[in-house]
Amino acid sequence: MATSAMVIVGAGEAGVRAAFALREQGYQGSISLIGDEPHLPYERPPLSKVGTEADSARAIVAEARFAEAGISYRRGSRVCAIDRVEHSLILASGETLAYERLLLATGAAPRELPGLHYGKRIHTLRTVEQAAAIRCAMREGQHLAILGGGFIGLELAAMGRILGATVTLIEMQPRVLMRGVPERLALALQARHATEGVHLFCGQGVENIGEDDTCVSITLANGQRVSADALVVGIGVQPNTALAAEAGLTLENGVAVDGYLSTNDPDIFAAGDCCSYPVAVYGGRRVRLESWRNAQEQGSVAAANMLGKAEFFDSVPWFWSDQYDLTLQVAGLADGAVSTVMRPLSDGAEILFHLDDDGRLLAASGLGREGAVARDIRLAEMLIARRAHPDPSALADPAVKLKSLL
């Protein structure tokens, strides 16, 4: 049996960050990073944004850095089981690998509608191969249909229009971005998509999806039919928990970890999209985030704790989305908010602050062209972290610097 003291399963954002953080934090033993994809670890956000090549992924780190840092990166290698008693992993190759501490950074997989044949004209989006297949239907003369008005669906819709395709987006809910984005900003984005020529069907269920050699046909609940060259099903993801489940680790909307990102086995940690954790700033409410920065930050903290440093994870949730020339940023979680204050910024940008019944700032959402909202969202994040109760009239007044409220 091969031995590696620190082993990370999953070579995405969280796993790669953790591997390098182990070294940066002074660890001198062996580190193995095991990923089942055949590539160098790559960034996922560019896969749904314009400005990247369809078939070339943006690497998270250059290949040489693995050797420089003494990290053994095993690509195309799937971990099939964890033997917690033996402290070892079983790989698809049949090999076993012993660990002292283990990090699960297995990410998430797109939800699929059952009964469809994925890969030819019907796709989901998580990998660089899927992005390249979808990109084929993103040019003039092609019709791309998208099921689901979440971030992935909307970013792909924007990308499709920019690249010249006809785009139809179908959302079952009455509006896009029902989860985690305030109505005002979601409707502003929805209006922008309509202006850009996206055919939007909101509040529409799907009756049937059929596929033949020439097209995909989608029959809506109202009987209308959409015929497209390709369909992307963007209806959310589910955490990759099979390994953890079979090993008897506690699950709760993902691998359940504590504030130190430790599972119920003190030698096994989890980070990124695959795990749920108690968010300190909201009294320990358990959430699972699907966000790039969260994966990075949890990777770093998990590495520290694999080394016994007892670092508490207390970041404020944050994510962004780019559509056309607009950027949406959300800091914090708005659930529980009873009032909203709007702060207008220049060039049509705006920030919404979400407050609870005690006047505490819970979250802030901003929409504007490129970097317009970044600075204020960053300051809002600091206010949220400090559990601040800012004066609503000061929040609403762009002449009052948010920094002065800290």
- Binding residue for ligand FAD, selected from 4, 32, 204, 291, defined by CB under 6 A: 291
Looking at beta carbons, which residue is closest to ligand FAD?
12
Q: Does 48 bind ligand FAD (CB under 6 A)?
A: yes
Report the residue number, 274 or 303, with the smaller CB distance to ligand FAD. Answer: 274
Phi and psi at residue 210, to the nearest 5°: -125, 155
Tell me which long-range contacts 287-292 makes (C-beta under 8 A, separation of at least 24): 287/253, 287/317, 287/333, 288/239, 288/253, 288/254, 289/317, 289/319, 290/108, 290/237, 290/319, 291/317, 291/318, 291/319, 292/13, 292/43, 292/44, 292/45, 292/319
- Closest to ligand FAD by CB, 19 vs 395, is 19
Under rule CB under 6 A, residue 295 binds ligand FAD: yes
CA dihedral 22, 287, 173, 128 (to 10 degrees): 10
Answer yes or no whether residue 273 interacts with ligand FAD by CB under 6 A: yes
Q: Tell me the per-residue interface mask from 69 to 88 with ligand FAD, x by CB under 6 A, - otherwise.
A: ---------xx---------
| Residues in Cβ contact with 283 at an 8 Å cutoff, skipping those fewer than 6 apart | none
* Part in contact with ligand FAD (CB under 6 A); list of ranges 104-112, 160-168, 173-181, 304-312: 104-112
* Residue 234 is a binding residue for ligand FAD (CB under 6 A): no
Measured at the CA of 16, the angle between CA 12 and CA 20, to 5 degrees, comes to 175
Q: Does 135 bind ligand FAD (CB under 6 A)?
A: no
b/e code 320-330 from CB counts within 10 Å (16+ = b)? bbbbbebbbbb
Among 20, 52, 82, 107, binds ligand FAD (CB under 6 A): 107
Q: Does 301 bind ligand FAD (CB under 6 A)?
A: no
User: Residues 6 or more apart from 193 whose CB is under 8 A from it?
Assistant: 154, 157, 158, 161, 169, 176, 200, 323
CB of 390 to ligand FAD, least distance (A): 25
Q: Specify the residue, 154 or 170, whose C-beta has the smaller distance to ligand FAD.
A: 154
Among positions 240, 241, 262, 276, the unique one binding ligand FAD when judged by CB under 6 A: 240
Distance CA 125, CA 130 (A): 6
Tell me: does residue 106 bind ligand FAD (CB under 6 A): yes
In the complex, which residues of this chain contact ligand FAD (CB under 6 A)?
A: 9-15, 34-37, 44-45, 47-48, 78-79, 105-108, 125-126, 152, 240, 243, 272-274, 290-293, 295, 319-321
